[in-house]
């Protein structure tokens, strides 16, 4: 974790993972399908969720609404297997390249990913697909 | 914007953009290169930044550190031209598919995108590239 002694160079160019958790103890976590490069979702991780993700290779988030650790896919089967974890320049966000289990979906609304609507003129249009295959493409 | 009367169905399946700004008046905004599908960065937008982005077609963020509206690329030339704007299920995050101007870079550290380090064993390794061409691939 970052502390008052962490220098800008250590944070931005160092080889040490030192996440900058916000005032709620969270970093943003973006999940991207490793195969299709579709952005699947954004959620948040506290230290425990990040540690568990790295240890187990299965993505864990912190559910802000339920205030609990959340193994993604535990009930739906839509597990996210971690292929690669990247961190951004100031280490307050991580990018998770994942392989999706179960039906290949991700979003509770039933689409392949959470970004299933695009702005067209001034309205949203559904452009996302429902999962058909047992992976995310 | 969402209000107390917004129903779950309107938010999740409706055709109206009704962002759920957090207690600081912000939504998360992920920028993705429309061409390569690389995730470039994550930042935040307040209502003004989102409105300006839609109106002008150039991505604006809210700088939390400087507490001001920020036209991305205004000084660096690394403008982000909006190709498509997507919103997630609960409308508290947007995904911006963009075309990058200037030298094609995005990150102030000098890499093509902010996610230039990957976790390998227990250390970070630089895997990102520096921009070479006037677009983001």
pLDDT, one tens digit per residue, over A15-55 is 999 999 999 999 999 999 999 999 999 999 999 999 999 99
pLDDT digits (tens, 9 = 90+) for B91-106: 999 999 999 999 999 9
B116 CA: distance to closest CA in chain A (Å): 7
Q: What are the tokens at A38?
A: 């579709």
* DSSP secondary structure string for all residues of A34-97: TTT--EEEEEEE-HHHHHHHHHHSB-EEEETTTTEEEETTTTTS--EEEEEEEE-TTSSEEEEE
Neighbours of B30 (CB within 10 A): 24
Half-sphere exposure of A119 (CA within 13 A, CB side): 24
Query: Do A85 and B13 make contact, defined as CB atoms within 8 angstroms?
Result: no
- Predicted pLDDT of residue A51: 98
Distance in angstroms (rounded) separating the CA atoms of residues B47 and B76: 24
pLDDT-derived band at B34, boundaries 50, 70, 90: very high
Average pLDDT, chain A: 94
A124 touches chain B (CB under 8 A): yes
A108 CA: distance to closest CA in chain B (Å): 8
Antiparallel, parallel or unpaired: β A27-33 and A93-100: parallel
A46 CA: distance to closest CA in chain B (Å): 17
B67 CA: distance to closest CA in chain A (Å): 16
Could you give the ipTM of this predicted complex? Answer: 0.94
pLDDT over threshold 90, residue B137: no
- Predicted pLDDT of residue B3: 82
Query: Do B109 and A89 make contact, defined as CB atoms within 8 angstroms?
Result: yes
Chain B residues touching A8 at Cβ < 8 A: none
pLDDT over threshold 60, residue B134: no
Q: How far apart are the first and last CA of chain B?
A: 35
**Is the distance from CB of A57 to CB of A81 less than 8 angstroms?**
yes
**Is the distance from CB of B62 to CB of B46 less than 8 angstroms?**
yes
A69 touches chain B (CB under 8 A): no
| 3-class DSSP state of B49 | helix
Nearest-by-Cβ selection for A86 from B30, B107, B118? B118
pLDDT-derived band at A136, boundaries 50, 70, 90: low
Chain B residues touching A123 at Cβ < 8 A: 15-17
- Predicted pLDDT of residue B102: 94
Interface size A-B, in CB pairs within 8 Å, comes to 103
H-assigned helices in chain B: 8-13, 47-56
């Amino acid at each position: 974790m970052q502390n008052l002694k962490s220098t800008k160079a250590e944070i931005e160019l160092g080889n040490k993972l030192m996440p900058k958790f916000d005032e709620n103890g969270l970093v943003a976590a973006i999940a991207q399908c490793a195969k299709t490069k579709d952005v699947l979702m954004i959620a948040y991780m506290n230290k425990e969720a990040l540690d568990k993700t790295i240890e187990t290779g299965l993505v864990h988030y912190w559910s802000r609404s339920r205030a609990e650790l959340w193994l993604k896919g535990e009930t739906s089967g839509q597990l996210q297997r971690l292929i690669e974890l990247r961190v951004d320049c100031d280490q307050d966000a991580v990018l998770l390249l994942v392989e999706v289990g179960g039906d290949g979906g991700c979003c509770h609304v039933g689409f392949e990913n959470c970004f299933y609507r695009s702005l067209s003129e001034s309205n949203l249009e559904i452009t996302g697909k429902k999962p058909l295959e047992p992976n995310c493409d």
